Amino acid sequence: MIRFERVTKRYDDGTTAVDDLSFEVAEGELVTLVGPSGCGKTTTMMMVNRLVEPTSGRVLVDGQDVAGVDPVALRRKIGYVIQQVGLFPHRTVLDNTATVPALLGWKKTAARARAAELLELVGLDPAVHGPRYPAQLSGGQRQRVGVARALAADPPVLLMDEPFGAVDPVVRERLQNEFLALQATVRKTVLLVTHDIEEAVRMGDRMAVYGQGRIEQFDTPATVLGSPATPYVADFVGSDRGLKRLAVTPVTETDLDSWTEGTERYAGAPGGGQGDPRVPLGTSLKDALATLLQHDGGRLTVTGDDGRPLGVLTPAGVHRALRRATAPTDPGARP
């Protein structure tokens, strides 16, 4: 859906921001670009919607070289979310959200109805927040409006530049989770820039780890954490990369103990043993561990798609899973 072919960007002052970059983002995929400040992430992103033109190489969106597409038409197909949000201060939240549909010539009522729908989608109440001005919202709410506005015209591609950077860590994690839930339904092709390795790991289907103007590794978070391609990547992802991997390692059936005694109890106990903490199969090891630590029982019931217990996760199972999670991955293996 988005394809970089040997793209170099040299600014007028001679700075090479991006050097011979090639990568591809599949349709419906969320790719995070992560690296230290000044490594060329924003430059990369801005070449997709032609806010920056490559010095050499090509950028294709949906098979089309963007150099040949009218920038205004291009930008209407590409949602753009930035840290500073960039809401119009003298327009209401509803009208801010309706900006692109209005530009596209939608009737006012249709644009506003769409805006209200989008505000609801990002967890704001159109009746309460819609009539307000941006200054009357919290930072987290403004970020939500930024996402709603970017999605309003239903663009196939979304560019997000440090979209959750301006809020405190708790709000940030909530916004990240909300966006992931949203992405699971809207399935946009997303490029998300961040300098935060945790965010890159949590959000990305795949992640591009940048060195200076170049991608050092482009792979799934589990593989980047499990098998860093270079010492630079290993250093960037941190010595606690094994722990970080817990967030992207799901609990699998092989981690479970069948618990015969427990099975009886499920059958016999009122409500099928509902007092025990339960997590669905596929929960991250990190969340499973957190749940385990919140309860005294020393085990979790893991349930299948139909909600029925599949087995229990005990400290021994956690240990097996941890060893699996922290073992180096086969670089050829794909999930």
Ligand X SMILES: Nc1ncnc2c1ncn2[C@@H]1O[C@H](COP(=O)(O)OP(=O)(O)O)[C@@H](O)[C@H]1O
Instruction: State in angstroms the smallest separation of the CB of 253 from ligand X.
Output: 41
Based on the shown chain and the rule CB under 6 A, indicate whether residue 15 belongs to the binding site for ligand X. yes
The nearer residue to Mg ion, 38 or 57, going by C-beta atoms, is 38
Based on the shown chain and the rule CB under 6 A, indicate whether residue 41 belongs to the binding site for ligand X. yes
The nearer residue to ligand X, 178 or 199, going by C-beta atoms, is 199
Q: How far, in Å, CA of 147 to CA of 138, rounded? A: 14
The nearer residue to ligand X, 42 or 284, going by C-beta atoms, is 42
Terminal CA-CA length for the chain: 21
Spacing of C-alpha 269 from chain mean position: 40
Based on the shown chain and the rule CB under 6 A, indicate whether residue 84 belongs to the binding site for ligand X. no
Q: Which of 1, 21, 40, 207 binds ligand X (CB under 6 A)?
A: 40
* Interacting partner of 15 out of ligand X, Mg ion, none (Cβ under 5 to 8 A depending on kind): ligand X
The nearer residue to ligand X, 215 or 321, going by C-beta atoms, is 215
The nearer residue to Mg ion, 32 or 249, going by C-beta atoms, is 32
Based on the shown chain and the rule CB under 6 A, indicate whether residue 183 belongs to the binding site for ligand X. no
Is residue 280 within 8 Å of residue 303, measured between CB atoms?
Answer: yes
Q: Could you tell me which residues come within 8 angstroms of residue 49 by beta carbon, excluding any fewer than 6 positions away? A: 66, 71, 74, 75, 78, 80, 159
Based on the shown chain and the rule CB under 6 A, indicate whether residue 220 belongs to the binding site for ligand X. no
Residue 162: φ, ψ to 5° = 50, 55
From the list 293, 220, 225, 299, the residue with the least C-alpha distance to 259 is 299
From the list 200, 210, 202, 199, the residue with the least C-alpha distance to 233 is 210
Instruction: State in angstroms the smallest separation of the CB of 218 from Mg ion.
Output: 18
Q: Where on the chain is the footprint of ligand X (CB under 6 A)? A: 11, 13, 15, 17, 35, 37-43
